[in-house]
Amino acid sequence: MLTPNDKIYIAGHHGLVGSAIWRNLQQRGYNNLIGRSHRELDLTDQAAVKRFFDQEHPDAVVLAAAFVGGIMANSLYRADFIMQNMMIQCNVIGEAYRHQVKKLLFLGSTCIYPKDAPQPIKEEALLTSPLEYTNEEYAIAKIAGLKMCESYNLQYGTNYIAVMPTNLYGPNDNFHLENSHVMPAMMRKIYLAKLLHDNQWAAITNDMDKRPVQGITGSHSHQEIRDILAKYGIEDNKVTLWGTGTPLREFLWSEDMADASVHILLNVDFADIIGIPQYSSVCFGTKADGSIDRNSSEGRGGALPQLGEIRNCHINIGTGKEITIRQLSALVAKAVGFEGEIVFDSNKPDGTPRKLVDVSKLHSLGWTHKIEIEEGVERLFRWYCSTLASNGR
């Protein structure tokens, strides 16, 4: 059990989820937190990660760092998506084990599930049929990560929990058009199309200065800005979005995700998930202080044969509710105040047709979401506007 004095390392603490987890822990009185920016610590560098763990010796780790993006980025950078994520996971999980951290929370994604998985998707659907092609490399990396957690637990008696969040959005989201997810990309496109129609060039140049698009900033000519925005389907009072608009998606407010993650980090153990309260002590033996003794001659190590196969120990995190991409675009347009045209380009890929997760395991562990999509979209747009009025991201 973690205490407020324990040192918790949050990998990816500047990101969408990592920053929210950091704030949530602080609100609960956990202030012994450590984080490193990518510039300070490259998690794909094995030697650097080892040095960091040697110096800091964290008691717990939250692995929220990842190389992420939407359909376009997944299609363009397939090798990067599998290699960078695998390196990050191997380095952090490996050092967490070598430094005997008490607890590790690994954040994956519901893209791990088959493209045609029965809906809503239960954890047991993992590896039952082919993945969605457009994000296959990222999904395979995340499947490997959750299997690392599961396998370390089974072989070494560790307490590593893997959670699979649905589509996330919220403060510190990525609005850069080249590699952002569906909601922030859609929101920025619709906002810029409205500004073009309203001839609000001061606001447009400010937006482009804060988040340049392929090197085009607010200092470029109006025509150069129009040309680059048109490449991303942004025109005067008109936005073109990828796909048919019919795919169904589930969205979870990032601060809800953080709350669920911290709830699991502080209150849920691997033994709780597999339903065997004394699993680790039975398999590995215990020390005088009650902690697991990995080197005990009494414990055999690994899963007991009589327990059968232990798999699918990860936890879905979501709302259990879904919305079409077309319906989402209407919510975003309403929040932005956009009254122009939204067009869907059916020649572009839709991605997975539907992806709703079953959250019954999560609910049984004592957590449910709080922010509904209508409120969340409005909150996200307010946050985005606040970054344009400050030195925000």
Rounded CA-CA distance 258/277 in Å is 26
Tell me whether residue 138 is one of the annotated catalytic residues.
yes
DSSP symbols for 127-143: TSSPPPGGGHHHHHHHH
DSSP symbols for 5-69: TS-EEEETTTSHHHHHHHHHHHHTT---EE---TTT--TT-HHHHHHHHHHH--SEEEE------
Where does residue 305 rank: exposed (0-12), middle (13-18), buried (19+ CB within 10 A)?
A: exposed
Position 28: which residue type?
R
Nearest Cα neighbor of 322 from 346, 296, 348, 356 is 356
Rounded CA-CA distance 315/162 in Å is 6
Nearest Cα neighbor of 212 from 177, 173, 174 is 177
Nearest Cα neighbor of 362 from 329, 314, 326 is 314
Contact 152, 100 (CB under 8 A): no
Determine the length of the chain: 393
- Strands of the sheet containing 323-324, edge to edge, are 323-324, 248-249, 354-355
Rounded CA-CA distance 357/314 in Å is 13
Rounded CA-CA distance 61/2 in Å is 11
User: For residue 121, what is the DSSP state?
Assistant: B
Catalytic residue among 138, 169, 191, 232: 138
Give yes or no for a cis peptide into 118 (omega within 30° of 0). Answer: no
Provide the annotated active-site residues: 138
